[in-house]
Structure 1
Amino acid sequence: MTSNWAAFTTAEPDLAKTVETRFALHTHHVLATLRKDGSPRTSGLEVRFLDGEFWLGMMPGSLKARDLLRDPRFALQANPGEGTAMGGGDVRISGRALLVGDPAVIARYTGQVEVPDPDDFHLFRTELTEVTRTYIEDDTYLVAQVWKPGEAVRTMKRS
């Protein structure tokens, strides 16, 4: 089962706000894709939350774009920043990235986001399969919150 960003924010508004805030702290994040041989590849990437969607944009022909065109599964981790104090915790989004071909959707996106060449880039709309937040509570517990489409957030604590 998959879901878009709007469905996630409706289902879990507090966690969605935390995730968006965490991603907004830095421009570049770490995208994991699958190479042709099935091994993982990590790449830097900027992301956008617009119009109820979580968007991935990238240069045409880039290795990460080629990976996603071949196998749409991805995981994206918010940049942890410097040091060890990850304000808001560590957040990750997993799902499928689907290439957008509709010129009207691309025009609406490029009308809101500066793109080096609006006629020459790959835009992917995402379908979410999991959103995870991990953080330290009271300097005692490691807390993991995991959301999957159609399910409530599951919270686990370890000391």
Structure 2
Amino acid sequence: MVAAEPEFAARVQGRFGAYTHHVLGTLRADGSPRLSGLEADFRHGELWLGMMTGSRKALDLRRDPRFALHTNPGPGTDLAGGDVRVSGRAVEVRETEVLRRYADAVRPPKPFLLFRAEVTEVVRTFVADPYLVLESWRPGCPLRTVRRTSTDASPETV
């Protein structure tokens, strides 16, 4: 995303950087959704998901790597910077050097597990009065912007 859409990537990373804790959606063994708190981290142009060994979300991702990550909305209801959702697949990192480098930079509680996100979609929603604006990006596709008003029968796509 960073190489393909650097300005959009900066807005997304800025929104995640506004708060430490976000909400991760994973799939339980029976297929039902599980929501968990998570500290997401952008480093070297990639999204990293670190978590405690043995946590339910880690076990979920090991079984089924699909995830959805939602930014912390923050206090109040203004959603300054927009509302961002990322979905994709989490790939567990096992390379000792990568784990060490991450631990040196982030200082997670140990032991920990680390997953690198293979992003399949990013959506940012925000209000630019009188519009509700949706920006969406998928790998290999250009950034898509849709503007809607409460009376739109057909939204405007840019």
Q: Tell me, what secondary structure is at the counterpart of 1:67?
A: helix
Q: Is the 8 A contact 2:52 2:109 kept in 1?
A: no
Letter in 1 for 2:46: E
Structure 1 segment 118-157 matched on structure 2, within 5 A: 120-138=111-129, 140-157=130-147
1:74 lines up with 2:74 in the alignment? no
**Is there any run of 5+ residues in structure 1 with no aligned partner, and where?**
1-7
Q: Which runs of structure 1 show a deviation greater than 2 angstroms over 4 or more consecutive aligned residues?
A: none
Q: Tell me, what secondary structure is at the counterpart of 1:16?
A: helix
Letter in 2 for 1:22: R
RMSD: 0.7
Letter in 2 for 1:155: T
Q: Is the 8 A contact 2:125 2:132 kept in 1?
A: yes
More relative contact order in 1 or in 2 (CA 8 Å, sep 6+)?
1
Structure 1 segment 6-155 matched on structure 2, within 5 A: 8-117=1-110, 120-138=111-129, 140-155=130-145
The higher radius of gyration belongs to 2
Indicate the structure with greater strand content: 2
Q: 1:4 maps to which residue?
A: none
Equivalenced residue count is 149
TM-score by length of 1: 0.92
Q: Tell me, what secondary structure is at the counterpart of 2:9?
A: helix
CA distance in 1, matches of 2:109, 2:102: 13
Q: Tell me, what secondary structure is at the counterpart of 1:14?
A: helix
1:157 offset after TM fit, Å?
Answer: 1.2
TM-score by length of 2: 0.92
CA distance in 2, matches of 1:39, 1:101: 27
Letter in 1 for 2:138: K
